[in-house]
Chain A
Amino acid sequence: MPSEPQDDVNLTKEAPEPESTVAVRRPHSQRAETVFRSLATAAGAIIVASIALIALFLLIRAIPSLRADEANFFTSTEFATTDANNLRFGIKDLFMVTVLSSVFALVIAVPIGVGIALFLTHYAPKAVAKPAAMLVDLLAAVPSIVFGLWGFLVLAPQLGPVQTFLNDNLGWFPLFADGNVSISGGGTIFVAGVVLAVMILPIITSVSREVFNLTPVTHIEAAQALGATKWEVVRMTVLPYGRSGVIAGSMLGLGRALGETIAVLVVLRTAAQAGQWSLFDGGYTFASKIASAASEFSSPLPTGAYIAAGFVLFALTFVVNALARLAAGGKVNQ
């Protein structure tokens, strides 16, 4: 680790420089030092402050609308903000759609992401691993509106038969029961979840890859010395060692999926009634609901309803990302 405390040149206020006979430091450069240090510290402080400001300003704008809310904010499935005198909004349905689509995305993306990470770190030959890793990272470079486009115009029609099949054969299971939109029309949480899974794959892969790469060679060699096959080596050393990293990566992926806006807005179809925890529901997530109403943010009270939803989303992603950091022992760096 570079830049450990360098006390010899550290001009802190608490420890004034001793009257030195060697170093010739003019007061001018000392002032410059102070200015530069303050600028750097201020930049760091601005970042800290911005998080606090986000929470503060969202709350300030949300509270009047929450006061005026005639329905229960947490348990109502309505979101009627057209009549400013009779605001009725709740986040229950938004929460359901957000969580269901994100968790479904996670269920698809985590096994595949971990598989890719294992393939890249312990199976693929070195010459292949690097370009292959770059290919996976390219997925992160594709803008989310393009994924939305693809999901809406290309993927949804293709997934139609799959959804019908699941619904026909596993319809007794709540997740695959009939939803509040027609399955053949695409635009269900199922499709949105698949699109989200593609979008969060790179982050899960890259975080997992990083920890798998760090597996101590001695562990691997010990397993090999016992005659383990490659799979047994992976199962006994790499996977247990990388567990916290995989969890952290998945949480980061979950955070992304919860907040993804435009792809979901484009893909997911609106539904006339609230969902029933089926993958074949339609509706809005927090993010897509806010984006869908963005052009009508003119009067403060209805807008505040959306800002309140935004605050919940902010809190949700804050918690998820903080947990990801905890899981990785404070070493998430992606």
Chain B
Amino acid sequence: MTATKDTPVPAGATPPAPAHVGAARKRGSGWFSERLMPYLLILPALAAVLVLLGWPTIQMLGISLRQLDLRELVTGKMVWIGFKNYTDVLSDPEFWAVALRTVLFTGALVAGTLLVALLIAVLMRHLNPVLRIFVQVSLVLAWAVPVIATTTVFQWIFDQQYGILNKTLDKLGFHSFIGYSWFSTGTSTLVVIGLLVLWQAVPFVAFTLYAGLIGVPREQYEAAGIDGAGPWQTFRAVSWPAIRPILTMVTFLSMLWDFNMFAQVWAIRQGGPDGASTTLAIMQYLKGIAGSHFGSAAAIATIMLVLLLLVTGRYVQLLVRTKDGEIA
């Protein structure tokens, strides 16, 4: 049944009820089109996904088993080399360093995004209306400013010579920050990128969680208060269950976005200094488009896909089930 939390199960279905909400089947007339209709309707989407995403994915798997450099690309020669690309990539110590960095970076970003967004969502519930609008407008603005523009602003704020951060630190008496480079090490570059991503990603997650929180009936909070629950217990017992499915969804999406993120990392320092802020997405790009080793780039991409599948598999399961109403 696709009974949702707020829609009553459609009454009036004559028993034995069909195992679906739709298709009030009139026997005979239109039965054939009734059977065929869903397939006709999903056909464009299915075709688009299979041709534009599925086929390239299969091709990517194929390319990862070939030697494909510029020469092969131009001559169109097929050189199958089996798993050599994979063994090359996996035996490269640099790959492991980058993979570990990417996983840690993604983990920190997802956790940071969810935590900050959750705090802001709860805060919004307790603010007076005027301040709440103020916070919401500031979040919407942060969200609406396009990624490349935001990235540019962050570069400007952290600029070595003229950035407001160094100017301010100098003003406050920390004169050693005159001309300090925030991009001199990989770690500090990644921290700047992390702040940038947080600033960009938090608004969406905060709004989504906030919308989930205001969906909780007030009586539930009052009841918890009457039962003598403290703020923390109330949150655990009332708010948490309400936002859990939303958290599943935004965790899943954040993982995808952060793990595969390219534009921000690339724009800040192209993975520098000396590759110290290179993530898998950047490495893949450098190998492929920039270095014309399309075979090993495809191998890296495939490994990325497998990693992501392993990490998010559980979420995919949960999401399909929740969506189908098997878990209320």
Say whether A and B bind each other.
no
- Residue numbers of A with Cβ under 8 A of B are none
